[in-house]
Structure 1
Amino acid sequence: MELFGEQVAQPELSCDQLEAILVLLAQQTGLPLFDAYKESCVKRRVVARIRRSGCLDVEQYLRYLQQDAGERERLVTSLSIHVSQFFRNPTLFETLQTVVLPALVQRTAGRPLRIWSVGCSAGEEPYSLAILLVESFGEQVAGEQFEILATDIDRRTLAQAEQALYDADPTLRGVSAARRERFFTEQDGSFKLCPAVQQLVRFRQMDLQLVADYPQADLVLCRNTLIYFNRPAQEKILQALADILPQDGILVLGKSESMPAPLRARFATLDPTERIYSRR
């Protein structure tokens, strides 16, 4: 890297040093290790934090990390992935609204339909689902017949989600003018989601590696999350999702994700384009 015409050395990070940082982070924050994440992704983000912290080497950063709670929080945030917007991949939400949700409603008649948004970031995905439910079933029915749980590992983004205040671009780029007028109120250049939609979603901090904490669900959206885990962790997570879904329950993955071969005995492909799977 070059800064003001001078070469600034990038911090070298060995596997042992990376492990020491992650162990310290786990001990100090109470969060599990990030060792199930792809090493290249984790290392790149840790190196970026070391550089931004102003530390000259890894040992100095370790001392800094041990002493400064704010830096530990910043590192956790950096290691968590937060790229989302309302109605990301619009054709998926059209399929959910016209095909998937009506079928699930018929199948779960007599009890609430349970929806789980995994890696919900600042709430864009679960709130998009809540908007669909209000449009299709009305506010009262949506509140009585559906339960939406949204989880993420990062407390900061969950706090943002509960505020439900968003910038127009890029977060609301996929929201039509009609939906923006109906469901949002402008506040000082940002947009506040209406209470009728907000109250349909519950937020909870959760680490996806803790499979024993998974809730029962009829529809799980786990989009663009598995790509950051290594293959054994992916398969462990998908096996656990299969365990908490009923027969014919629905799992949605991201566009760049696919069902590993060992899991195909547990999931049937319903829509290969939208990555929609049914629990066998």
Structure 2
Amino acid sequence: MIDISNRDFTRLVTFIKHNYGINLANKRQLIMGRLSPMLSRLGYANFTDYIDYIITTEHKSDIDQLLNRLTTNYTFFMREVNHFDYFKDTVLPQLVANKKDRTLSIWSAGCSSGQEPYTLSMLMKEYLGSDFDKWDTRILATDISMNALSLAAKGIYSEDALKDMPNGFKSRYFRPLTNKTDYQVINEIRENVIFRTFNLMDPIRFKRPFDVIFCRNVMIYFDKDTKEDLCRRFYNATYPGGYLFIGHSENLTNKDLPYEHIMPSAYRKPLR
């Protein structure tokens, strides 16, 4: 394992925190353990030369490789299923009843390999039925990792990955591939999700506010101030009455945040 000096550790932690919000201040052993094999493979004998390169490079793929090593793009279908139940049983009926322009504006922020936005799209298809094509239901799905987004856009998952899907979803929304072990999300659902790279530290300047934002199990890497700043920007990018869902291991504890707490890890922007 390649050792990292105090100076280089501080430089790397500061660079990642400033640019990507990820707090690695207490992750010295993780950094050495996960990056040392990569540095050796790339021909670096020490962290100094690698960090000199990484903080100046314009090659997004190299940053992507670094972040993939230091974070875990782990997710699965129907993770924290109570959020999906609430979305299906409460949020969707409410939005459909009140959205006169027939547009549902939903953002899956930190979508990883795509299970979350695809599930949301399937739930909208289930609820709207034959009216699905009459609504603009396209979901914005973003992640900082190009590698994760590339996998997500393909929409290919193992048969075992679909074991927790609701009854009938596998037959309706996936098609078996020729290898007979993998399944791909059908075109109608894949085309309803727009995948984009986006750094959550950047200003949120999309064309319209969102009715619902899912940002789950992303802020576990952020410190308190970074998390609260992001949630304020989410709040400003949400329609009155809109929702924010975060991971069960994450909490909004600052009483100054104006969201209403509606259920575990779920919040709503007041109508007024």
Q: Structure 2 length as normaliser, TM-score?
A: 0.84
Q: Which residue does the alignment assign to 2:46?
A: 57
Structure 2 gaps, min length 5? none
Deviations 1:37-71 (A, max 9, x none): 22246645532343212254323544675799665
In structure 1, C-alpha distance between the alignment counterparts of 2:143 and 2:86, rounded to whole Å: 25
The answer as to whether partners of 1:49 and 1:75 remain within 8 angstroms in 2 is no
Q: Which residue does the alignment assign to 1:258?
A: 251
Q: Tell me how far 1:24 sits from its aligned partner.
A: 7.6
Q: In the alignment, does 2:147 pair up with 1:156?
A: yes
SS at match of 1:18: helix
Q: In the alignment, does 2:269 pair up with 1:279?
A: yes
The answer as to whether partners of 2:13 and 2:25 remain within 8 angstroms in 1 is no
Match of 1:195 among 175, 187, 193: 187
Assess, with a 3 A threshold, how the Cα gap between structure 1 residues 263 and 245 changes in structure 2: closer, same or farther: farther
Q: Which residue does the alignment assign to 1:269?
A: 261
> Superposition pairs for residues 81-230 of structure 1, below 5 Å?
81-138=72-129, 140-141=131-132, 144-169=135-160, 171-176=161-166, 178-187=168-177, 188=179, 189-213=181-205, 216-230=209-223
Q: Tell me how far 1:203 sits from its aligned partner.
A: 0.9
Deviations 1:12-57 (A, max 9, x none): 342x31344468889xxxxx723x3222466455323432122543
The answer as to whether partners of 1:50 and 1:61 remain within 8 angstroms in 2 is no
In structure 2, C-alpha distance between the alignment counterparts of 1:143 and 1:11, rounded to whole Å: 58
Q: Which residue does the alignment assign to 1:48?
A: 33
Q: Which residue does the alignment assign to 1:6?
A: none
> Superposition pairs for residues 1-12 of structure 1, below 5 Å?
9=1, 11-12=3-4
Q: Tell me how far 1:199 sits from its aligned partner.
A: 1.3
| Overall identity of the aligned pairs, in % | 23
In structure 2, C-alpha distance between the alignment counterparts of 1:200 and 1:144, rounded to whole Å: 11
SS at match of 1:219: strand
Q: CA RMSD in A?
A: 2.8
Q: Which residue does the alignment assign to 1:237?
A: 230
The answer as to whether partners of 1:123 and 1:161 remain within 8 angstroms in 2 is yes
Count of aligned residue pairs for this structure pair = 261
In structure 1, C-alpha distance between the alignment counterparts of 2:196 and 2:23, rounded to whole Å: 24
In structure 2, C-alpha distance between the alignment counterparts of 1:41 and 1:168, rounded to whole Å: 38
**Residue 175 of structure 2 aligns to which amino acid in structure 1?**
T
**Residue 278 of structure 1 aligns to which amino acid in structure 2?**
R
